[in-house]
A and B are shown apart, each in its own frame.
Chain A
Amino acid sequence: MITAGIDMGSRSIKVVLLEEIKVEGAPQLQYAVKKAYMMLPGELDADEAAEKAYNEALQAAGLKREDVAAVYVTGAGRSQVKFATEGVTEMTAGARGANYMFPEVRTVVDVGAEEGRGVKVDAAGKAVDFAGNEKCAAGAGSFAEAMSRALQMTLKEFGEASLRSDKTIPMNAQCTVFAESEVVSLIHASTPSQDIAKAVLDAVASRICAMVRRVGIEESIVLIGGMAHSAGFVDALKKALDVEKILLPEMPESISALGCALLAAERQH
C-alpha cells in the first residue's frame, strides 16, 4: 500500500510518498520512503501548488494517483487542499515523524520558516503537550534568513559563520521588527559578521528554548524543520537548552510530511 503525506509549510511544500511493506514473521508493519519531494509554491495559491507538488512527486516516483490509498495533509495551509483525505495538526504529524526516525524521542523541536514550537511526545509518538508562538516571527527561521540576507550570506553560510564566533552579544528586542534595527546598528558599528550571525542565532535559539521549557525539556530531543540544516543554530540551541545532544534526522524539513504519510497508512487498518 502507498500513502502520501503533504506538509503545506509557509515557505515550501513537502510531499512524502510511503510504501508499506509486509515482512513475513515480523511483528510490526514496516515502511519505506518511496519519494520525498519539496517545492516552492511561487505565485500559485495553496490548492494549485499542492496539486502541482503532489503530481510532480508522483511522477518522480513513477506512481499514479490511483496507486495512493490515502493523502494526509498538515501545515498552516492544510484546509485549502481539497483533494486531501484528511488533515492533521503540525504537532501530531511532527511527533509521529520524529518518533519514526528516533523511537526514543520525548521532545520534538520544530523550527520552520514562520513557526517554531516545542512538542512533548509520549512513547507511542503521540503529541501530549505543546507550546508554540504561531503568530509571532521571533523564534522562527525567517528572522534568521532576513538577517543573513542583510549580511549578504546564505542561511548555511550564516550558520557556519556563527560557529567561528566566540562572542556573546545579547539582543534586547523580542520582536523581529525591532531586532532588525538592532542588527542594522551592529552592522553600522562594524561588528564582525560572524559575531552578528551568532547573536541572531542565539536570539532565535533562546526564544525557541523558552517555548520548549514550557512543555519541559526531556531527552531525547529531536530537531525538525528547515532550521535543522543550520549547524550554527543547532549549536546555539544545544547551549540554550543545556543538553549534550540533539538528534537530527535526515531531511529534517520533511519529517512532518513523513508523519502524515505514516498516520495515513496506520489509519487504513
Chain B
Amino acid sequence: MDRAEDPRLVWGLRIGFALVVLAVWQVTAVRLGENFFAAPGAIVSSAVALLRSGELMHYFVPTLEVLAWGFLLGLAVGIPIGLAIGRWRRLYWVSEGPINLFYTTPLAAVIPIILVILGFGTTTKVFVVFAFVVFSVLINSAAGVRNVDGDLLELARSYGSSEPMLWREILIPSALPFVLVGIRIGIGRALIGAVVAEFYAGISGVGYLIIYYSNRFDVASALVPVGMLIALGVGSTAGLKRLQEWLTPWASEARV
C-alpha cells in the first residue's frame, strides 16, 4: 500500500461493486425470464412472504437445533481427543491412519447407510453434522499440540513442571489458535452436513424447504433459506474471529 487506507473509500468501493453486481443480476434475470433465474427483487419479496407466513422459521429452527447439537458434540469429542492424540505419540501412531481414512471419506456418500442404521429422525441429522465437524476439529487440535515449541517444553522441564501445569501454561495456549482454525473450518462443514442430511432425511429443516421450492421451479423462494445459511455461516465466522482476537491476542497482534 502506498497510502493509508481511507475507510470511506474502501467501503464506498465495496458497496458500489455490490450495487453494480445486483443491478446486472436484476437486468439479466428479467431478460432471461424469471422462472429459472431469480432476480434479487424477486428473492426479497419471496423472503418477505416466507417470513410473514412463518414458514421460514418453522423450517429454520429445526435446522438450527440440528446444527447446534451436532456442532457442540463435534467440539466436545474432537477437541479433547485431538489434544490427547497431539500429546501422546503412541496414540498418534495408532490413530493417524484411521483418522485420515475417515476424514477423506466423502461423508455424503454414507448418509444413506447412516439413515438405515439411525432412521429418518433428528438423530441421523445430528450425527451427520457431528461427523462433518469432528474430524476437522480433531485434526487441528492434534496439530496444535504437536506444533508446540520444543524450547518451551524444555523450559517447562527445567522448571520441574507437572503434567497438569504443562497443559495449562503451555500446551493449551499453544494449541488454541489451531483449535480455533479447526472450529472455523468446522462451521462451514457443519452447514454442508446439515443441509445434505436434510436432503436425504426430508420433511423438515431448510434442506427440505430448498428441495420443495426447487421442485416447483420457484427458484426465488428456494434461494431464501440458502441466504439464511450463508448469513449464519458469515455471522458465526465473524463472531469466531472476534473471539480469536480476544482469546489469543499474541497470535494475531504479534504479526502486525
**A and B associate in one complex:** no
Interface residues of B (CB under 8 A from A): none
Could you tell me which A residues sit within 8 Å of B by CB distance? none
